[in-house]
Structure 1
Amino acid sequence: MQFRHLAGRVWLCPGNPDPEAVQAGVAVVADERGSVMIDAGQSPAHAREIQAALAAAGLPKPRWLVYTHHHWDHVWGACAWPGVEIVGHETAVMLLRAEAARPWSHHYLREQIRANPRLGPSFRARTRAVDSWEDFVVLPPTRTFTDVDELPVGVRLRHVGGGHAPDSTVVLVPDSGVMLLGDCFYPPPAHLRRPEDGLDLGLVRRLLDDTYHWYVSSHAEPMTLEQARSAAGA
């Protein structure tokens, strides 16, 4: 696992390409005034691997941790990021408080799969991701916004919502020409997905902007503006 430079201040650390791992990639906007971490990793163990990769790349420690949305593979590593301000859309607070109240354990995950087999892929991935529940806690954001926000280092946040998650947020780094999309245009999670659900390419078309040259989703390789236009049929 290592960070690679994309453009300007933006560095990427890819997730596990095996879809059964359900491991999202993360990004960091490196700044001597305080870096911004985009998503937390899928578990404390994953977060610690990300931290080691940050150190190996000589990148500054993050001051802010931004959630692109509340799904577990983007937020379960947050408890291993001490001293950061967690930023997310206001709707994530209620959603993550509900998640935090669940009695997470391997036993609980197995029980949930038995009760609803459609949860199997996600919940089995969680059992593999978390080796110990002793210090595990789900953390809601401590700084929230409604429509847009801007951090002191020029990183902008825009709520877009969509079918994948109601709190989906895109992260804009204008000076680097990079837009971090999270999972915003993906279909709903597998256990909620209907046969007619697919990628929300209309959302992608609305986000395309000539001032941004790179478009990065959490589970795929970065796309140039031209590639994004082609993929979205724009």
Structure 2
Amino acid sequence: MRVSLRHLAGRVWWYPHDEDHDNVQGGVAVIADDAGSVVVDAGNSPRAARRVQAAMEAAGLPPARHLVYTHHHWDHVWGACAWPDVEVVGHRAGARILAAEVRRPWSHQYLRGEVEANPRLGPSFRARAWAMPSWEGFAIIPPQIEFDDALTLPCGVELRHVGGRHAEDSTVVAVPDSGVLLLGDCFYPPPFHLREPDDGYAVDLIERLLDEAELGRYE
């Protein structure tokens, strides 16, 4: 079944996540702008990125100009190499991590070897293999535009670093004119291979963001 973009509010659209938890594909947001849309997260593979692009075209949205990473995890950035003519934006800590990820010899053989060395990587690395039927043309793309605390794009989209245990570079994306705050995975527990039994959602972070929203920080 073909998935289409869903209109959230104002100029914000949403390409939903895959409901199959074994197919680790998070949602992708599109913020429409006449000068070129802002895409929030790249999809978990070039194939996923092309599906989002087809949905954007079908919805009549402008092509992407900026691609924003909410954090560096693979299911949010591995589709970046399939987004043409975009400026990739991300937090400086994530840029450093992705620069190291570029040097890994990504392949199904490499994924199998990593799981053999550390079985706790199994769920993540098997999902990566599932997402990547071919590695031809694949490349990890670190951000070309980096920021530390906050950055406002020319179209009025606001990026703010919040960190947290899920990923040190976690960023929230606010679209004040549409009353939308995109959280990414910032309140999730650490990835499975790093998770401890008592790790859970970052309720304190959610409460803080809700308090700021009520005070008008994100409208």
Instruction: Give the match for residue 16 of structure 2.
Output: 14
Give the structure-2-normalised TM-score.
0.95
Could you tell me how far apart the structure 2 residues matched to 1:153 and 1:171 are? 13
- 2:22 is paired with a residue of what secondary structure? helix
Correspondence for 1:198 among 184, 197, 200: 200
Instruction: Give the match for residue 75 of structure 1.
Output: 77
Could you tell me how far apart the structure 2 residues matched to 1:94 and 1:88 are? 10
Between the two proteins, the alignment pairs up a number of residues equal to 213
Runs of 4+ aligned structure 1 residues displaced above 2 Å come to 210-213
Q: Any stretches of 5+ residues in structure 1 without a counterpart?
A: 214-234
Instruction: Give the match for residue 183 of structure 2.
Output: 181
Could you tell me how far apart the structure 2 residues matched to 1:134 and 1:178 are? 36
In the alignment, residue 77 of structure 1 is paired with which amino acid?
G
Residue correspondence of structure 1 range 11-90 to structure 2 within 5 A: 11-90=13-92
In the alignment, residue 193 of structure 1 is paired with which amino acid?
R
| Percent of aligned positions that are identical | 64
Could you tell me how far apart the structure 1 residues matched to 2:117 and 2:174 are? 40
Q: Give per-residue Cα distances to partners, 1:134-161, cap 9 Å, x unaligned.
A: 2101010000111010000000000000
Instruction: Give the match for residue 135 of structure 1.
Output: 137
CA deviation after TM superposition for structure 1 residue 15, in Å:
1.4
CA deviation after TM superposition for structure 1 residue 12, in Å:
0.3
Could you tell me how far apart the structure 2 residues matched to 1:6 and 1:82 are? 25
Instruction: Give the match for residue 124 of structure 1.
Output: 126
Give the structure-1-normalised TM-score.
0.89
In the alignment, residue 60 of structure 2 is paired with which amino acid?
G
In the alignment, residue 130 of structure 1 is paired with which amino acid?
M
CA RMSD in angstroms, aligned pairs only: 0.9
Could you tell me how far apart the structure 1 residues matched to 2:104 and 2:92 are? 20
Could you tell me how far apart the structure 2 residues matched to 1:90 and 1:176 are? 27
Correspondence for 1:164 among 159, 163, 166: 166
